[in-house]
């Protein structure tokens, strides 16, 4: 039985005009061992993110069975309208499945996925968006270059640069960003040659690097059409490759990175310099959204109708002869 009319039928919903959604999965079950200082790292990450985004941005936070203290913090962010969505999972569902479910349901043309230990510098969002709105056929842009991954699911980046003769091979403009990331994940023992002189693309006045990871990356919504429509399973290893990396190539889109580092990987312990970055962000004027009507956002990929042609192109671009040709073109 129903008495009266649902008042929502006569209510106008808020008019939202988001163009960019950012998804942050969080798993901090306690404050012991590895997680002893992670809450502090998380707060630095969230604060730096909130400081550096423009008004056309929505944030989705995924609470993967976090501790009560962390859960209360995340709920406070929602209550204060500092984030747009808070997804709460009673059990830890990992990184891939929660992220993918949000990506597929998002309406925004640009979707950033980021780990909860990423520190954002002022200007990162504009630098990333400028790549999407200035270079056609872009599928993913990371605000941190990883030049050593120049062949990792980058077939169509190579194809684009070859067919337009816009390869570059310049001295790295931000070796410090590469060093900081390497130090936060592995034992740093010096730079490789490709890190010193990254393979890149120069097009329409924009310089970008071929070689990017997914610990923080912005995706073209069109990529989600190629993400498998199933759960990733219980195994973590390989899931990110299949669900977050391969779909970019399957969509026939470019995988790129900014030519400078605009984010840092903090790990699980905060350091003084991280607080300095947050203070520096705070001192800056709030960013404004890019006037997208001045740009053409091309979401069409290069994949050809016939699968065999795609395989031929991929195999050709992986040959030593083509690799040598690419580097010869880039040096000119």
Q: Quick one: three-class SS letters along 266-283?
A: CCCCCCHHHHHHHHHHHC
Strand 167-169 to 254-258 pairing: unpaired
**Does the pLDDT at position 121 exceed 80?**
yes
Strand 20-26 and strand 57-64: the pairing is parallel
Domain boundaries in the chain?
Answer: 16-288+299-331
The topology (CATH level 3) of 16-288+299-331 is Spore Coat Polysaccharide Biosynthesis Protein SpsA; Chain A (3.90.550)
Rounded (10°) CA dihedral 117, 121, 125, 128: -90
CA distance 301 to 298: 8
Supply the pLDDT for residue 156.
92
The whole-angstrom separation of Cα 214 and Cα 216 is 5
**% of the chain exceeding 90 in pLDDT:** 64
> Torsion angle of alpha carbons 266, 270, 273, 274, nearest 10°?
60
166-191 per-position pLDDT tens digit? 999 988 878 888 788 877 777 777 78
The 8-class DSSP code of residue 175 comes to H
Q: What is the mean pLDDT of residues 109-136?
A: 95
Q: What is the mean pLDDT of the chain?
A: 88
DSSP tag of 34: G
Tell me whether residue 148 is exposed, middle or buried, using C-beta atoms within 10 angstroms of its C-beta: 0 to 12, 13 to 18, 19 or more. middle
Tell me the pairing of strands 216-220 and 138-142: antiparallel
What is the rounded distance in angstroms from the CA atom of residue 183 to the CA atom of residue 256? 22
**302 vs 239: which has the higher pLDDT:** 239
pLDDT at 308 over 90: no
Q: Is the pTM of this model over 0.95?
A: no
Q: Residue 295: is its pLDDT beyond 60?
A: no
What is the C-alpha to C-alpha distance for residues 230 and 255, in angstroms, rounded to an integer? 24
Quote the strand ranges of the chain, DSSP E: 20-26, 57-64, 85-89, 110-114, 118-120, 138-142, 167-169, 199-203, 206-209, 216-220, 254-258, 263-265
Paired residues of 20 in beta bridges: 57, 110
Q: What is the dihedral of CA 169, 322, 152, 222, to 10 degrees?
A: 100
Kindly report which listed range (39-43, 81-85, 148-152, 309-313) carries the lowest average pLDDT score. 309-313
Say what the pLDDT of residue 254 is: 95
pLDDT attached to residue 223: 95
Which residue is associated with the tokens 């039928």?
9
The CA-to-CA distance between both ends of the chain, in Å, stands at 77
| Residue with tokens 């290893």, as numbered in its chain | 237
What confidence tens digit (pLDDT) does each residue in 178-236 have?
788 877 777 777 788 888 899 999 999 999 999 998 899 999 999 999 999 999 876 66
Determine the pLDDT at residue 60. 98
Place 321 in a pLDDT band, splitting at 50, 70 and 90. confident
HEC string for 201-212: EEECCEEEECCE
Helix axes 307-317, 155-164, angle to 10 degrees: 80
């Amino acid at each position: 039985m129903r008495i009266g009319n649902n008042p929502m039928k006569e209510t106008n919903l808020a008019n939202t005009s988001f163009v960019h959604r950012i998804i942050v999965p969080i798993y901090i079950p306690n404050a012991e061992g590895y997680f002893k200082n992670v809450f502090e790292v998380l707060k630095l990450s969230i604060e730096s993110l909130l400081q550096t985004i423009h008004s056309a941005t929505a944030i989705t936070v995924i609470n993967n069975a976090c501790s009560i203290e962390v859960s209360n913090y995340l709920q406070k962010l929602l209550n204060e309208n500092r984030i747009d969505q808070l997804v709460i999972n009673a059990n830890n569902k990992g990184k891939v499945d929660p992220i993918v479910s949000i990506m597929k349901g998002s309406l925004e043309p640009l979707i950033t996925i980021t780990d909860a230990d990423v520190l954002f510098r002022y200007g990162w969002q504009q630098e990333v968006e400028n790549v999407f709105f200035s270079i056609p056929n872009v599928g993913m842009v990371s605000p941190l270059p990883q030049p050593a991954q120049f062949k990792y699911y980058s077939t169509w980046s190579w194809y684009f640069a070859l067919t337009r003769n816009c390869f570059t091979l310049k001295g790295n403009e931000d070796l410090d960003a590469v060093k900081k990331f390497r130090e936060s994940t592995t034992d740093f023992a010096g730079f490789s040659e490709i890190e010193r002189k990254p393979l890149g693309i120069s097009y329409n006045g924009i310089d970008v690097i071929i070689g990017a990871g997914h610990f923080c990356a912005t995706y073209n919504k069109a990529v989600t059409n190629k993400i498998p429509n199933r759960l990733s399973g219980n195994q973590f290893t390989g899931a990110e490759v299949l669900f977050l990396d391969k779909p970019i190539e399957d969509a026939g889109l470019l995988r790129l990175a900014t030519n400078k580092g605009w984010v840092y990987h903090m790990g699980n312990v905060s350091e003084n310099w991280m607080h300095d970055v947050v203070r520096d962000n705070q001192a800056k004027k709030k960013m404004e959204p890019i006037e997208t009507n001045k740009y053409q956002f091309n979401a069409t990929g290069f994949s050809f109708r016939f699968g065999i042609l795609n395989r031929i192109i991929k195999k050709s671009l992986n040959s030593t002869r083509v690799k040598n040709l690419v580097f010869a073109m880039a040096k000119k």
